[in-house]
Structure 1
Amino acid sequence: MPTFEPFHALRPDPKYAEAFSSLPYDVFNRAEGRLEVRRRPLSFLRIDKAEVTLPDLIDDHDSRVYQQAVLHFKEAIERGILLTDDVESYYLYRLTDGTHTQTGFVGCVSVADYDQGIIRKHEFTRPDKERDRVRHVQSLAAHTGPILLAHHPDDELNRVVSEQTSQSPLYQFTAEDGIEHTIYKITDRDAMMTIGSQFARHDHLYIADGHHRAEAASQVARLNPHEDAGLFLAVSFSSDQLNIQGYHRVVEDLYGQSVDDLLERLSSRFNVTEGRATETKKHRFEMYVKQKWYTLDYEKNRGSVKEDLDVAILQDELLTPFLGIEDPRTDARIQFVGGVRGYDGLEQLVDQGTMAVAFHLHPTSLTELMAVADSGEVMPPKSTWFEPKLRSGLLIHPFF
């Protein structure tokens, strides 16, 4: 049974919440991050990706990066931008994009639950990214970015959401991208007891996004004797609320073949028709090349849930045999495009000559994600793209 605990949050004074909060560190490259902190000088990105405040000649993983993060972190505390809540609390985090609303519970989960598989994962992590987050968390003695979790629908937890969101929010603002972020603080004793006991009734929680942060928390717990280092920050949403979009692929060349040759070869494994599809669905792929869209339908069932994922089919049945992409994690010829950019973003990459061909995928479902995690397997890289994104810096779990 999962542990889900309240905590003493380190959080911004409400008057700074919008200016201080930031999109996650890993959605920015260094140049983008540098522009972001120039434009928003209070941005939490100065702490979460401190290399953007240092000269380019300093490597991203230089020890000075983490020293700089600590300086920015201490400055925010000393200036009164960040304050510590006086009581242990749970929080609700609501995101609204105008057409979709989702509300998750913010609390701390257990490293032991993660290590024992009660908190289930579905993807491999990269050692270099693990090391970066381990050094960041250990330097700050704080978990700064929440792990996105999913839990099975729960009527009692839904009732708590309904009751608590009728109260005045702690924070409420609309970011520049149009996403409304609302945080509610929960201190009511009965509500807190319900939250803890209801999460304990679930067999498992599932990591939707944040595998590197979760693995880093596990490693830090082995290095840091502080009791609270054995807990890490998470936001858990009911699986029927999370919004997954397609995680698309673009490839920089056609592997030495013409478009006509590629289409002819693809017809041996897919039903190929010219034009975009009228609807996206499982086992349907849309390909953009030479300013034309093509629809590729795959009609076989490959067996296990993992093998039958669209991202696995595209990799095994197209990218490897026809475009020579053997390992998408290491091949520099392939890039991944999150669903928010959609068709227009894919067309732009191909039309401007940056990439030769783009593939638009139907979203992986939460049911598929959970089934793969329950089977103890891992999904192919870049299988899921979640929108809207949680902002970092609104709630921090310190252990100092």
Structure 2
Amino acid sequence: MNIAGPAEGTRARSGLELAPFRGLRYDPDRVGSLAAVTSPPYDVVVRPDGLLHLESADPHNIVRLILPQDTTPAARNQQAADTLDDWLSEGVLTTDPEPGLYVYEQRDGGMLQRGVIGALRLSEPSDGVVLPHEDVMPHVIAERAALMRATSANLEPLLLTYRSTGPVTGTAAVVEHTVQREPLLATTTEDGFSHRLWAITDPTDLAAVQADLRRHQALIADGHHRWATYLRLRAEHPSPSPWDYGLVLLVDTARYPLRVRAIHRLLHQLPVADALAALQGLFRVRHLDVPLAEALEALAEAAAEDNAFLLAGDGTFHLVDRPSPDLLARTIPADRPVAWRTLDATVLHAALLDHVWGIPEDSPAHVAYIHDTAATVEKAERDGGTAVLMHPVREEVVRDLARQGVTMPRKSTSFGPKPASGLVLRALSR
């Protein structure tokens, strides 16, 4: 079992418990390039175009594990398991010689992010150690759980954040002196981001990181469905076991602030004309005959004053704002904090999707959640649906609601930059 963590008798839930593990990594001599085998996280890949692009980049691209393609779910999961076994037996993926934590760096121009990848002991929301902030969709958890069962692996890390205070000590000090060494790997992906990875194996450094992190709680920035999947799979396996832990990237946002972006909605079966017709008398609607960048600026200005959305899909843009107070009073639950009731995502899901448009938010046949703004618009125009473009929520609002135990509507935020999938994996039974 590739876990080095606290003894079973010392399980006080005082903070984050991050354990080293023996990472699975690509052998650079067995693939075209490290950049060509990486992928965005599974839920960021725009399908089918982005999926096909990644599959053709290299026959060993990680997307063949995180988004396997076949005719049935069972066949897809078996294909991923067989592919992983093949890559291990062929030496395409190799296991690091000793357990460690991993310092991971992403850089894009003036933006620098560093964090620590490790196996985090799982905890319940009631423990107050890891704070979720979004609702999840049961069918996605079921899909991810089936894939993890089949592969017996954590194929990509979740993104969690915490906030340190004071001088550069503990984790921060270990990270800073670790990055002075030669990295295990370095590559630049086609989006312009450079990626570097180092192993932390020195017992003193490991102890310093673990002691420091036990003083902190974390916010799930990206990976709510995978976190819920970890919890489901832990419940299926008697403890202690490797399933008591899940692969995460922990970023100290006091030192490396994340970007917060919106996740957009694509309403497959709702034409723009029908969407706009249903809004009459309920929202103000303004037609914008401008490029996407200018339309997003108008959305930002409107969102600073009130709830606002940008609809697209018919070759132009429509700014939707100033919802009817009567509509909000009838559709928004009154037993939640004001910060939650006034979220754009709350108004979208409770008032628009549920009440005005009558669209089931948890049905993939009706709603897709897409991170890329231009791709959302293009797919809406191509498919005859409606793109609903959102304005991002501030991180302080997210963290405050999470500390109150209040979850936001699903897919309310997109924190980034997200870790590239394929740089380090965690096996649970090898």
Question: What TM-score range do you get, normalising by the shorter chain?
Answer: 0.7 to 0.9
- Residue by residue, what CA displacement relative to the aligned partner does 1:233-259 show, whole Å, maximum 9, x if unpaired? 100112352211122335433575766
In the alignment, the residues of structure 2 paired with residue 125 and residue 262 of structure 1 have an alpha-carbon distance, to the nearest angstrom, of: 27
Which residue is equivalent to 2:67? 49
* Percent identity over paired residues: 22
Which residue is equivalent to 2:331? none
Deviation at 1:211, TM superposition (A): 1.9
- Structure 2: tracts of 5 or more residues without a match: 1-14, 290-294, 329-333
- Matched ranges for 1:3-42 at <5 A: 3-15=17-29, 16=31, 17-28=34-45, 29=47, 32-34=50-52, 36-42=54-60
Which residue is equivalent to 2:90? 79
* Change over 3 Å in CA distance of 1:24–1:140 after alignment to 2: same
Q: Secondary structure at the match of 1:306?
A: helix
Does residue 160 (structure 1) correspond to residue 174 (structure 2)? The answer is yes
Q: Answer with 15-24 or 326-335: which moved more.
A: 326-335
- 122, 139, 142: which one pairs with 2:153? 142
- Matched ranges for 1:121-136 at <5 A: 121-136=132-147
Number of residues paired by the alignment?
A: 383
Native 8 Å contact 1:245 1:364 kept in 2: yes
Which residue is equivalent to 2:263? 247
In the alignment, the residues of structure 2 paired with residue 79 and residue 111 of structure 1 have an alpha-carbon distance, to the nearest angstrom, of: 32
Which residue is equivalent to 1:354? 384
Deviation at 1:354, TM superposition (A): 2.1
Native 8 Å contact 2:42 2:66 kept in 1: yes
In the alignment, the residues of structure 2 paired with residue 295 and residue 22 of structure 1 have an alpha-carbon distance, to the nearest angstrom, of: 34
Which residue is equivalent to 2:341? 307
- 223, 230, 252: which one pairs with 2:244? 230
Deviation at 1:128, TM superposition (A): 2.5
In the alignment, the residues of structure 2 paired with residue 331 and residue 131 of structure 1 have an alpha-carbon distance, to the nearest angstrom, of: 14
Deviation at 1:320, TM superposition (A): 4.8
Does residue 287 (structure 1) correspond to residue 310 (structure 2)? The answer is yes
Native 8 Å contact 1:115 1:218 kept in 2: no
In the alignment, the residues of structure 1 paired with residue 87 and residue 136 of structure 2 have an alpha-carbon distance, to the nearest angstrom, of: 31
Q: Secondary structure at the match of 1:166?
A: coil
Aligned alpha-carbon RMSD (Å): 3.2
- Residue by residue, what CA displacement relative to the aligned partner does 1:92-143 show, whole Å, maximum 9, x if unpaired? 1112232422111101111245684421212233333222222222222221
Aligned partner letter, 1:121: P
- Matched ranges for 1:191-210 at <5 A: 191-202=205-216, 204-210=217-223
Q: Answer with 140-149 or 273-282: which moved more.
A: 273-282
Aligned partner letter, 1:45: V
Which residue is equivalent to 1:181? 195
Q: Secondary structure at the match of 1:193?
A: helix
- Residue by residue, what CA displacement relative to the aligned partner does 1:289-310 show, whole Å, maximum 9, x if unpaired? 6624436357999953222222
* Change over 3 Å in CA distance of 1:326–1:105 after alignment to 2: same
- 333, 356, 370: which one pairs with 1:337? 370
- Residue by residue, what CA displacement relative to the aligned partner does 1:193-231 show, whole Å, maximum 9, x if unpaired? 2211111011x2121111222222222223334622211
Which residue is equivalent to 1:70? 81
Deviation at 1:286, TM superposition (A): 4.7
Aligned partner letter, 1:296: D
* Change over 3 Å in CA distance of 1:293–1:76 after alignment to 2: same
- TM normalised by structure 1 equals 0.83
Native 8 Å contact 1:239 1:366 kept in 2: no
Which residue is equivalent to 1:379? 408
- TM normalised by structure 2 equals 0.77
- Structure 1: tracts of 5 or more residues without a match: none
- Residue by residue, what CA displacement relative to the aligned partner does 1:247-279 show, whole Å, maximum 9, x if unpaired? 2335433575766x8465414xx9x69684465
Deviation at 1:333, TM superposition (A): 4.7
Which residue is equivalent to 1:102? 113
Does residue 170 (structure 1) correspond to residue 184 (structure 2)? The answer is yes
Q: Secondary structure at the match of 1:376?
A: coil
